[in-house]
C-alpha cells in the first residue's frame, strides 16, 4: 500500500515543487478578500469597508462576491451607516445565493439599530420562519421577541417565546446551551412579569441551568427572579435573591441596579434604616453621576423620614463635605439648603436625640443661602439650577430682601419647566411685585398662574384662591374697583368652603400664615364695600366677613355676624346657608341647645336642601348619640337613608344607625342595619368593610347572650373574614384579623380540646409580625395580649411565655401606648409575678403602669404596698 501511494504522488506533477501537506498558492483575488476580511475581524471597519469596496470593483465575477457584499454591509452597519447597509443588501439580493438568510438577517439588524422596529421585527420573523436550517434562526427568533418588547407588545413576546412549535422553541431545543436560548427564557420571564403572571415567570427563570450561563446571564437570572418575587408579594424571598444578584454583578451598572432593587424591597418591608444603608452603596466613585443622583433621590427623603430635622441636616452636611466630592453634589447641596430653609421657617426643637449634634448654625437662612449660592455659582449646567434660584429667592424673601428675591423668582419662572414649581416661582414673583408696589405687574403674574395651571390640582388647590385674593388687593391699589370686585366674586363662587383654600402650603409652608390672616381678608372685603357700597355682591361679601370670624374660631363674633346678615338680607338666596352656619357656630361655641334648635328647624324648613339638610340631620343624630339617647339617634340616622347621598353620608348613617341599635342592646335591629349596608352595591369599600366588622361584633354579642348557639360565632367569623381577603394590607384588615382571633379564642374556650387556639394564635402572630409602621399600637397590643392569654391556657403551669407577651406591650413607643391594653397587660403581668411570689418584679410592673396611667395611681399604690410588704416579710 505504501509503495502504491508513493508512486501515485510522484506521478502528480502538481505536487513536485511544494512541501508535503502545504496549501496551494493563493491567488491575488483570494489575498485581497482575506485582507479585507482580516480588517473586519480586527474591528477596523472603515478600512474593511474600503478593502471590500475595492474588491467588489476589481473582482466582479469572484466566487467570494456574495460574502464580500455581506461583510461590506456589516462594516457599514458597524459604523452606523444603516441606510447604506440596507440599500447594498437589498440591491444585491439576487447575488446572495445560499447567503439569502444572512442578507435578510443583517437587513433586519440594520433596521433594528436605526430604530425601524416594525420592519426589523418582520425581517427577523422571515428568517426565523422561512429558513428553518439557518444558523441564524435562534438568534433571529430571539431578536424578533426583543424588538416586540421594545415596542411594549409583551403579549406578542410571550407568544413568540412560549409557542411550542414556534421557531424559538424549536431552535432552542436543538441548541439548549446556546446563549440566545438562555436569553430568550430571560426575556420570556420579563414578559411574564409585565403581564403580572409572576408564578409562571418564576418557573421559567428557575428552569435555566446556572452551569450553562455566563456570570452576566446568571446576574440577569437572579435580578429578574428577585423582581418577580417582589411583584408576586414575596418580599422576603425577593430580598434573599437580590443579595445573590449583588454578589454576581460584575459591571457597575448591574451593581447599581441590584442595589436599587434591594433598597426598594427593604422599603416595601418597612426596613427603612437598612434601605438607607443599601442605597449609600451606589454613591461609590465607580458609579456614574446619574446613578449617584438616583441614589441621593432615595437617600435624602429616607434620611429626613428617619431622623429629626437637625440630625438630617448634619447627615446631609457630612455627605456634602465628602472628599472626594460625590458626583451629584449639586443635588446634595440643593437638598441640604432646603432643609436649612425648612429649619428657618419651622425652627428646630431644642430637644434633640442623644446622638444629635450639640450645636447647629443658628442662622438657618444664611446656611441655606450658602448652599444655594454654591450650586448657582459652581454648577452652571446643573439641571437643578432653576430650582436653586427658586430656593434662593425664598431665602431672600424671608430675609426681607425683596428686590433680590424678585430677580431670583423671575429667573426661576423663566427657566423651570411647566410644573408646580414654576407656578410657585410665578406666584412669588408676583408677591415681590406687590410688595414693591408694582401692582399691575403683580396682577399680571397672578393671572398667569390662574391661566397656565388651571388643570393641575396641586396648583389649583394651593394657590388659586390666594392668587385671586392678591389680585383683588392689587386691583384695589391700582384703583380698579371693578377688577377687584370680579376677583372677589371668583373667590366667593369658586371657593365657597374656604375663601383661602385648604390651607395648602406653597413650598415650605411660609404662606400658611397669609392663608389664615383673616383680619387682612376682612380689610380687603371691607375696602371693596367702601369702594362699591351698592355692589350686587354686598350680601356675599358681608357673609364672607362673618365667615372669617368663624375660621378664626371667634364664635361669638361669627354668630353676631350671621345674625346681623339675616337681619340685613332676609330674602337673599343665601339664607339657608347662613342659617346652617349659624347653627354650626352655636354648636362650636358650646351652645348646644341653640344649635339643636337651629338644626332641627333647618331640617323642618328646608327638607329638600340637599347641600345642608343632610348635614344638619346628621348633626342632630350625632348629638343624640353623644347624649346616649340611642333611640332618637337611630331614628335620625334612619331619616338620612332617605336623603340624597352627600359625600357618603347616607352610607355612614346606616353604619351609625346600626351602632345606635347595638349600643341600645337592640341587636336584631343592629344586624339588619349592618346587613343592609354591606349589601349596598355602591357603598364605599371602606364603609362596607366597617359594616362587616360591626356585623361580626353584633353576631358575637348574640353569641355571648346565649353561648350554646355557636352558629352566631360562625356567622361572625364569616362576616369579619370579608375584611381580610387573605392578604391584609390596611388598618381595617389588621383590625379584622384581631377580631377574628378573638372569635376563634372564644370558640376555643367553648371547646378546649379543639385546634382553635392554634388558629387564634396564628392570627395574633400575623399581626405582631407586620412591620411596625403597618399596625397601630392598639392592634399590636391587643394581639400581644391575646397571645399571652393563649400561652396561659396552653401552659398553665409555665406562664413565662405569657409574661413575655404582656411585657412587650410595655416596650412599645411610650408616647403611643394604648391605655386599655396597657392596663390589662400590667394587671396580668402583675398577677403572674404575684402568683410566682416575685414581689420585686410585680412592684416594678405596677410602678411602670402608674407612670404611664396616673389615673390608676390609687389602685396601683395599694398593689405596690402589698407587693412591698410581701417583699419585706420574705427578706426578714
pLDDT of residue 459: 79
Q: Does the structure show a pLDDT above 80 at 748?
A: no
Question: Is residue 102 pLDDT above 50, yes or no?
Answer: yes
Q: Which tens digit of pLDDT belongs to each residue from 300-333? A: 888 888 888 888 888 888 888 887 888 888 898 9
Q: How many other CB atoms are there within 10 angstroms of residue 97's CB atom? A: 11
> Is the pLDDT score of 2 beyond 50?
no
Average pLDDT of 462-467? 78
The whole-number pLDDT of residue 4 equals 29
pLDDT in tens, 7-55: 323 333 333 343 445 566 678 999 999 999 999 999 999 999 999 999 9
DSSP reduced 3-state for 642: coil
Kindly report which listed range (417-421, 499-503, 538-542, 648-652) carries the lowest average pLDDT score: 499-503
Question: CA-CA-CA-CA torsion for 655, 660, 665, 666, nearest 10 degrees?
Answer: -70
As a whole number of angstroms, the distance between CA 461 and CA 451 comes to 14
Grade residue 508 by pLDDT with cuts at 50, 70 and 90: very low
Q: In sequence order, which ranges of 383-460 are alpha helices (DSSP H)?
A: 385-399, 402-415, 420-435, 439-452, 457-459
Over pLDDT 70: what percentage of the chain? 88
Would you call the peptide bond into 324 cis, given omega within 30 degrees of 0 as the criterion?
yes
Interatomic CA distance for residues 347 and 154, integer angstroms: 52
Q: How confident is the model at residue 5 (pLDDT cuts 50, 70, 90)?
A: very low
Q: For residue 208, what is the DSSP state?
A: S
Judge whether residue 156 has pLDDT over 90: yes
Least confident of 165-174, 240-249, 687-696: 687-696
What pLDDT shows up at residue 757?
77
Res 322: pLDDT: 80
Cα–Cα distance, 244 to 255 (Å, whole number): 11
pLDDT on residue 725: 56
**How confident is the model over 723-732, as pLDDT tens digits?**
765 444 466 7
Q: Which three three-digit cell numbers place residue 266? A: 427593604
pTM for the model: 0.55
Q: Is the pLDDT of residue 88 over 90?
A: yes
Separation between Cα atoms, residue 617 and residue 639, nearest integer Å: 8
CA-wise closest residue to 397 among 385, 412, 419: 412
**Exposure of 638 in the CB half-sphere (CA atoms within 13 A):** 13
Banded model confidence at residue 690, pLDDT cuts 50, 70, 90? confident
Does residue 775 register a pLDDT over 80? no
- Give φ, ψ of 347 to 5 degrees: -55, 140
- Specify the pLDDT at position 512: 44
In 117-248, which residue ranges form alpha helices assigned H by DSSP? 117-130, 137-150, 154-162, 167-174, 179-194, 198-206, 215-231, 235-248
d(CA 218, CA 220) in angstroms, rounded, equals 5
The H or E element spanning position 364 is helix 364-378
Q: Which has more pLDDT, 780 or 78?
A: 78
Give the mean pLDDT of the chain: 83
Spatial contact of 232 and 259, defined as CB atoms under 8 Å apart: no
Q: For residues 284 and 250, is the Cβ–Cβ distance under 8 A?
A: no
b/e map of 695-730 (b: 16 or more CB within 10 Å)? bbbbbbbbbeeeeeeeebbebbbebbbbbbeeebee
- The pLDDT of residue 677: 86
**Higher-confidence position of 154 and 848:** 154
**Stretch 577-603: mean pLDDT:** 92
- Considering Cα of 634, then 640, then 645, then 647, what sign does the dihedral take? negative
Which is it for the CA torsion 681, 640, 592, 658, positive or negative?
A: negative
User: Highest mean pLDDT: which of 253-257, 446-450, 498-502?
Assistant: 253-257
pLDDT band at 220 (very low <50, low <70, confident <90, very high): very high
The pLDDT tens digits for 378-399 are 999 999 999 999 999 998 988 8
Whole-number pLDDT of residue 728: 40
> 3-state SS of the chain: helix, strand, coil percent to 5?
75, 0, 25
Confidence of residue 493 (pLDDT cuts 50, 70, 90): low
> Which three three-digit cell numbers place residue 692?
362587616
Confidence category of residue 349, pLDDT binned at 50, 70, 90: very low
The three grid cell numbers given for residue 590, joined into one nine-digit string:
358650646
Ranking 76-90, 232-246, 475-489 by mean pLDDT, the lowest is 475-489
Decide if pLDDT at 205 tops 60: yes
Q: At 509, phi and psi to the nearest 5?
A: 90, 5
Q: How confident is the model at residue 753 (pLDDT cuts 50, 70, 90)?
A: low
CB 183 within 8 A of CB 217: yes
pLDDT greater at residue 691 or residue 751 = 691
Least confident interval from 141-145, 173-177, 540-544: 540-544
Amino acid at each position: 500500500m505504501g509503495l502504491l501511494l508513493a508512486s501515485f504522488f510522484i506521478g502528480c506533477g502538481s505536487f513536485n515543487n511544494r512541501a508535503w501537506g502545504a496549501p496551494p498558492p493563493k491567488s491575488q483575488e483570494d489575498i485581497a478578500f482575506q485582507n479585507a476580511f482580516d480588517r473586519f475581524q480586527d474591528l477596523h471597519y472603515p478600512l474593511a469597508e474600503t478593502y471590500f469596496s475595492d474588491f467588489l470593483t476589481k473582482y466582479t465575477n469572484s466566487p467570494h462576491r456574495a460574502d464580500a457584499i455581506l461583510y461590506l454591509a456589516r462594516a457599514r452597519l458597524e459604523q452606523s451607516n444603516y441606510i447604506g447597509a440596507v440599500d447594498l443588501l437589498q440591491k444585491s439580493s439576487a447575488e446572495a445565493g445560499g447567503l439569502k438568510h444572512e442578507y435578510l438577517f443583517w437587513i433586519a439588524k440594520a433596521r433594528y439599530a436605526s430604530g425601524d422596529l416594525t420592519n426589523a421585527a418582520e425581517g427577523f420573523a422571515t428568517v426565523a420562519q422561512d429558513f428553518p436550517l439557518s444558523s441564524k434562526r435562534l438568534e433571529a427568533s430571539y431578536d424578533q421577541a426583543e424588538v416586540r418588547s421594545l415596542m411594549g407588545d409583551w403579549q406578542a413576546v410571550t407568544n413568540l417565546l412560549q409557542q411550542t412549535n414556534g421557531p424559538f422553541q424549536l431552535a432552542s431545543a436543538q441548541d439548549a446551551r446556546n446563549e440566545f436560548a438562555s436569553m430568550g427564557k430571560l426575556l420570556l420571564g420579563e414578559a411574564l412579569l409585565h403581564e403580572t403572571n409572576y408564578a409562571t415567570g418564576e418557573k421559567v427563570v428557575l428552569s435555566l441551568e446556572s452551569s450553562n450561563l455566563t456570570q452576566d446571564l446568571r446576574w440577569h437570572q437572579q435580578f429578574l427572579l428577585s423582581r418577580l418575587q417582589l411583584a408576586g408579594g414575596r418580599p422576603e424571598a425577593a430580598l434573599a435573591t437580590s443579595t445573590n444578584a449583588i454578589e454576581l454583578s460584575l459591571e457597575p451598572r448591574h451593581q447599581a441596579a441590584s442595589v436599587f432593587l434591594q433598597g426598594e424591597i427593604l422599603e416595601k418591608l418597612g426596613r427603612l434604616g437598612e434601605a438607607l444603608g443599601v442605597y449609600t452603596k451606589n454613591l461609590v466613585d465607580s458609579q456614574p453621576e446619574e446613578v449617584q443622583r438616583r441614589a441621593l433621590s432615595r437617600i435624602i427623603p429616607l434620611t429626613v423620614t428617619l431622623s429629626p430635622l437637625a440630625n438630617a441636616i448634619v447627615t446631609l452636611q457630612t455627605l456634602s463635605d465628602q472628599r472626594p466630592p460625590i458626583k451629584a453634589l449639586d443635588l446634595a447641596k440643593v437638598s441640604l439648603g432646603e432643609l436649612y430653609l425648612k429649619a428657618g421657617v419651622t425652627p428646630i426643637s431644642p430637644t434633640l436625640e442623644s446622638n444629635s449634634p450639640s450645636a447647629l448654625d443658628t442662622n438657618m437662612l444664611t446656611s441655606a443661602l450658602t448652599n444655594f449660592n454654591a450650586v448657582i455659582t459652581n454648577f452652571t449646567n446643573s439641571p437643578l439650577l432653576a430650582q436653586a434660584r427658586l430656593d434662593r429667592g425664598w431665602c431672600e424673601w424671608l430675609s426681607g430682601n425683596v428686590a433680590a428675591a424678585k430677580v431670583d423668582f423671575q429667573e426661576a419662572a423663566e427657566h423651570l419647566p411647566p410644573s408646580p414649581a414654576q407656578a410657585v416661582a410665578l406666584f412669588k414673583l408676583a408677591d415681590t411685585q406687590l410688595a414693591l408696589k408694582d401692582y399691575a405687574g403683580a396682577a399680571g403674574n397672578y393671572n398667569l398662574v390662574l391661566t397656565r395651571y388651571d388643570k393641575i390640582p396641586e396648583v389649583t388647590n394651593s394657590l388659586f384662591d390666594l392668587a385671586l385674593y392678591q389680585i383683588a388687593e392689587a386691583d384695589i391699589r391700582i384703583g380698579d374697583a371693578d377688577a377687584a370686585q370680579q376677583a372677589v366674586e371668583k373667590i366667593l363662587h369658586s371657593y365657597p368652603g374656604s375663601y383661602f383654600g385648604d390651607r395648602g402650603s406653597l413650598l415650605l409652608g411660609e404662606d400658611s400664615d397669609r392663608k389664615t390672616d383673616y383680619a387682612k381678608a376682612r380689610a380687603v372685603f371691607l375696602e371693596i364695600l367702601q369702594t362699591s357700597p351698592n355692589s350686587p355682591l354686598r350680601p356675599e361679601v358681608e357673609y364672607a366677613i362673618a365667615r372669617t370670624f368663624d375660621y378664626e374660631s371667634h364664635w361669638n363674633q361669627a354668630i353676631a355676624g350671621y345674625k346681623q346678615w339675616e337681619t340685613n338680607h332676609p330674602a337673599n338666596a343665601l339664607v339657608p346657608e347662613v342659617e346652617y352656619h349659624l347653627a354650626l357656630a352655636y354648636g362650636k361655641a358650646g351652645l348646644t341647645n341653640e344649635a339643636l334648635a337651629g338644626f332641627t328647624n333647618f331640617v323642618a324648613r328646608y327638607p329638600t336642601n340637599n347641600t345642608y339638610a343632610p348635614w344638619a340631620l346628621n348633626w342632630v343624630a350625632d348629638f343624640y348619640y353623644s347624649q346616649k339617647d340611642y333611640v332618637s339617634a337611630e331614628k335620625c340616622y334612619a331619616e338620612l337613608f332617605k336623603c340624597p347621598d352627600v359625600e357618603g353620608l347616607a352610607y355612614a348613617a346606616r353604619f351609625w344607625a346600626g351602632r345606635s341599635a347595638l349600643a341600645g342592646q337592640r341587636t336584631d335591629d343592629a344586624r339588619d342595619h349592618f346587613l343592609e349596608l354591606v349589601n349596598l352595591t355602591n357603598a364605599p369599600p371602606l364603609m362596607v368593610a366597617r359594616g362587616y366588622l360591626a356585623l361580626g361584633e353584633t353576631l358575637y354579642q348574640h353569641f355571648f347572650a346565649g353561648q350554646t348557639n355557636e352558629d352566631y360565632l360562625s356567622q361572625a367569623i364569616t362576616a369579619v373574614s370579608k375584611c381580610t381577603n387573605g392578604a391584609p394590607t390596611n388598618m381595617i384588615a389588621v383590625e379584622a384579623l384581631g377580631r377574628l382571633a378573638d372569635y376563634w379564642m372564644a370558640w376555643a374556650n367553648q371547646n378546649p380540646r379543639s385546634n382553635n387556639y392554634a388558629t387564634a394564635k396564628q392570627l395574633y402572630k400575623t399581626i405582631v409580625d407586620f412591620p411596625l409602621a403597618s399596625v397601630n399600637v392598639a392592634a399590636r397590643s391587643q394581639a400581644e395580649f391575646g397571645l399571652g392569654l393563649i400561652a396561659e391556657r396552653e401552659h398553665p403551669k409555665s406562664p413565662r411565655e405569657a409574661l413575655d407577651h404582656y411585657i412587650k406591650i410595655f416596650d412599645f413607643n411610650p408616647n403611643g401606648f394604648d391605655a386599655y391594653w396597657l392596663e390589662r397587660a400590667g394587671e396580668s403581668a402583675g398577677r403572674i409575678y404575684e402568683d410566682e411570689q416575685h414581689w420585686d418584679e410585680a412592684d416594678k410592673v405596677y410602678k411602670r403602669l402608674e407612670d404611664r396611667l396616673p389615673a390608676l395611681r390609687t389602685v396601683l399604690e395599694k398593689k405596690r404596698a402589698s407587693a412591698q410588704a410581701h417583699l419585706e416579710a420574705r427578706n426578714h
